[in-house]
Amino acid sequence: MMISIIGAGYVGLILSACFAKMGHFIRLIESDSNKVDMINSGRSPIYEPGLDGLLSDHIGKNLIATTCYNSIRESDFIFICVGTPSMPNGDTDLTMVASASRSIGEAINESKEFYAIILKSTVPPGTTENLVIRKVLKYSSTSNLGFAMNPEFLREGHAIEDFMHPDRTVIGCNDTHTGDLIESLYKSFNAPIIRTNIMEAEMIKYASNAMLATKISFSNEIGNICKRLGIDVYNVMKGVGMDHRINPHFLDAGAGFGGSCFPKDIASLIRVAEKLGYDPSLLRSVVRVNEKQPKIIIELLHNKLGDIHGKSIAVLGLAFKKDTDDIRESRAISVIRELERGGARVKAYDPLASNNACKEISGLKCYSNAKDALKDADACIIMTEWPEFSELDEEFNLMKSKVIIEGRRISSCSDVEGICW
């Protein structure tokens, strides 16, 4: 099949590489010419295990990146994978979805071919119908079109595996013909395919992320109570997760959730509810617990050190989770901001995310290994579950005082105090 993919962000890149691996012919359309050049040289603009390899295998063969929309006229499927960032009030910025829809309409204008136009970006329910379909039809005279919403559930660090082995594929489509065509793209996956209408598919993505975030905040709340009782939340949640109605996944208590999806999507869902006149009190609480966790880390530090002003604090782990260089909404960044507000001197280390963290926090002092960051520190806070942190032991002896707090359950050192264990 000929597939055009609009947007070389996270989802667009994974989709392009994986569909190319499946033997389809891919045009990846991206407005940033630097990114296009990089992709065409077989390198990924983002860090994701396995992605460079897939790009270099397929680029120039059945995968080409371009800044030009004209080539989408030859496509059977057009996927919109542009970013939908959060605005300060939590609303979703749909500017890029609107402009991609307009460009698609202009590019296919007067074509006699049939196109299936599919939104992959995460959007508030109603966006595909009220924005994408309207815009495409406004700028194109062709009516031989099908529209769908096909959400993606990729986890950073596991995106290729998640794409190739999904739990389910959701196809939201209001006409059977287009839905059947899209289904044919995914039928080789050994996973159930759920057919819904467009708005239901949009909501499945929001509700899935909200459910996962709720599990995390729930575990964190239980963990905060367990700590006060002197019992281990990990033993408790192990017992809880063995109930098949609950399941053991996403019950790890700690510093809370970050990343490019959960915080943004929950904020957006809250705004959707508010605009409908409904007070989403559970979702607000999920966010409140998540915002509380970094503050608890600072409280623990105060309990051990007293005033942190002028103290030197090693922060190990900056990425929002292991196996990524992504620091978006990372709880480590929230902790560092609190430390800086209190006048502490931060010594940071992350195996992959230091560059991104330095761009976010100007003047942040990053070290090239954990040992150097720990040397002469008054305290250490472990914020990401990188496996190398589990092996640290003797290195803690380099600290001025052995105050170690972890926001993720990773260290085996006996001197460590956990955020909620």
Catalytic residues: 261
Handedness of CA 222, 224, 229, 230 (dihedral sign): positive
Q: Is residue 205 a contact partner of residue 392, using CB atoms and an 8 Å limit? A: no
Q: How far apart are CA 233 and CA 226, in angstroms?
A: 6
Considering only residues 320-349, where is the footprint of ligand UDX by CB under 6 A? 320-321
Q: Rule CB under 6 A: say whether 13 interacts with ligand UDX.
A: no
Stretch that binds ligand UDX, among 91-99, 154-162, 165-173, 268-276 (CB under 6 A): 154-162
**Closest separation in Å from C-beta 99 to ligand UDX:** 23
Closest among 22, 25, 23, 65 to 42, alpha carbons compared: 65
Contact with ligand UDX (CB under 6 A) among 69, 234, 262, 386: 262
Q: Does 77 bind ligand UDX (CB under 6 A)?
A: no
Tell whether residue 251 is a contact of ligand UDX (CB under 6 A): yes
Site string for ligand UDX, 386-415 (x = CB under 6 A): ------------------------------
Instruction: Work out the number of other CB atoms within 10 angstroms of the CB of residue 358.
Output: 16
Q: With contacts defined by CB under 6 A, name the span among 86-94, 147-155, 186-194, 369-377 that binds ligand UDX.
A: 147-155
Q: Please name the amino acid found at residue 74.
A: E
* C-beta of 76 vs 388, nearer to ligand UDX: 388
Cβ contact 358:387 at 8 Å: no
Strand ranges of the sheet holding 115-119, from the earlier edge strand across to the other edge: 63-66, 25-29, 2-6, 77-80, 115-119, 145-149, 169-173, 193-196
> Is 313 one of the binding residues for ligand UDX (CB under 6 A)?
no
Strand partners, 314: 347, 380
CA distances from 263 to 10, 72, 83, 258, 306 (A): 17, 33, 15, 6, 31
Q: Segment contacting ligand UDX (CB under 6 A): 226-234, 247-255, 304-312, 369-377?
A: 247-255
Question: Would you count residue 206 as binding ligand UDX (CB under 6 A)?
Answer: no
The count of residues interacting with ligand UDX (CB under 6 A) is 20
Does 166 bind ligand UDX (CB under 6 A)? Our answer is: no
CB neighbour list of residue 341: distance below 8 Å, 6 or more residues apart: none
Tell whether residue 58 is a contact of ligand UDX (CB under 6 A): no
Helices (H) and strands (E) in the chain, counts: 16, 14
Identified binder of ligand UDX from the candidate list 102, 155, 195, 375, rule CB under 6 A:
155
Q: Which of 30, 48, 156, 323 binds ligand UDX (CB under 6 A)?
A: 156
- Site membership for ligand UDX, residue 153 (CB under 6 A): yes
Q: Applying CB under 6 A, which part among 51-59, 70-78, 153-161, 267-275 lies near ligand UDX?
A: 153-161
Q: Which is nearer to ligand UDX, 252 or 395 (CB)?
A: 252
Give the CA distances from residue 57 to residues 165, 185, 295, 328, 351, in Å, rounded to whole numbers and listed in that order.
20, 21, 46, 29, 27
250 near ligand UDX, judged by CB under 6 A: yes
Strand residue runs (E) in 207-363: 312-316, 345-349
Rounded to whole angstroms, the Cα distance separating 410 from 20 reads 37
Work out whether 257 is an interface residue with ligand UDX (CB under 6 A): yes
- Where on the chain is the footprint of ligand UDX (CB under 6 A)? 152-156, 209, 212, 216, 250-252, 254, 256-259, 261-262, 320-321
